[in-house]
Amino acid sequence: MNKKGVEFTLITIIKILAVLLVGGLAASKAVQFADKETIVKVNMAEDIRAMVDVLAGIPGDAVIKYPGDSSSLIVILRSDAVSVFKRGDPDHLHIVREFVLPIGFTTSGITEEESPSCLEKKGKNIELMRCRDEP
């Protein structure tokens, strides 16, 4: 029996299996990231970050209503970032987007599976909250 041929074939099979394993893991992660829920969370975090930037840049007080459905998500607005996640999500599934505020500005607020959500600017404070009922 030719030992070189057997070793070559065995090594080749092991390499092919390793490539298939790595490819399968990469495909699994891609499918997980492309999950609709993840996309919704990323878009919401980006939208809120942009809304904070707009509010920080305009004079006077203002209220912006988030146009999307946030009833299944928890949103936390801190002084330097916004986090969006679903109740029970492990930390690695929390979507966090950081931002920088002008000097003197503060941000805060939490909405827990509430819709509609609003960002309200009063002076130099921007707060995330459930929208108040309109009169």
pLDDT tens, the chain, 135 aa long: 555 555 667 788 888 888 888 888 888 777 766 668 888 899 999 999 999 999 999 999 999 999 888 888 999 999 999 999 999 989 988 999 999 999 999 999 999 988 888 999 999 999 999 988 754
- How far is Cα 119 from Cα 81, in angstroms, rounded to an integer? 14
Q: Which structure tokens are listed for 32?
A: 């997980």
DSSP assignment string, 11-50: HHHHHHHHHHHHHHHHHHHHHHHT-HHHHHHHHHHHHHHH
